[in-house]
Chains A and B, each alone.
Chain A
């Protein structure tokens, strides 16, 4: 059994491959077989109208589109983590995804910041994706202005 007491997702069958991949520490999104666009959240139809798609791995990197620092959480379990950052991230493949952004001082988060997905096995059956800043190379070569 688990003592995880935050909200767990209600997952329709269509969405199951996304969550199954997370358990394997991979991120797959639907990619339209007709127009090639990635889409998120899962949907039966692409905006081009096609119902044909393939679950396709993405790189897991993107940039912050917008964010908030939550101080007043929905339940006591989340409140224990407050303040925490919720970020909307434009993935390099196009779709926006939402999650917590960890590994950064909330005050240091900016729109446009590069982030990458990491995995958090919160129960044996549930893995969540989160964002963290992309490690940038040390500025040892920056000699000029």
Chain B
């Protein structure tokens, strides 16, 4: 079984569902669109729009720095592919969770969240219209496989919860000062 993907945290859902090329010369309209995942959109936004470095952005997306870089590289590859081949870009899917549930109102064009998780939203808080739509969320495994690996001291057996993005070998055992190693439960 391959390693499970850690759900990426998305703070700002995209304002659009995708992009279309115009002035198409060839038959590229028939080409399949490029599917840009939510996490790839977020990675691109963090790094190139908000100007965070990969390390800061990885912490905000709750993944390790190398994983963030892979997501970012994949985003750039997909966008380059769409530009060069004149394909559509569709932003959807991906293994993500949002910091809170976000909704979009079709009537006034606003985005809003629902801080009360137990109550459901039926109308837009601004214009009162019921024409609202929830942003996509992959709820299947959103919270359950949050990493519960441990960092263990190989000498004295001291254990500590593993922090994502911090390599175990950089952590030291407080009693014998040995670099820690990872242990999967």
- Does A pair with B? no
Chain B residues in the interface with A (C-beta under 8 A): none
Chain A residues in the interface with B (C-beta under 8 A): none
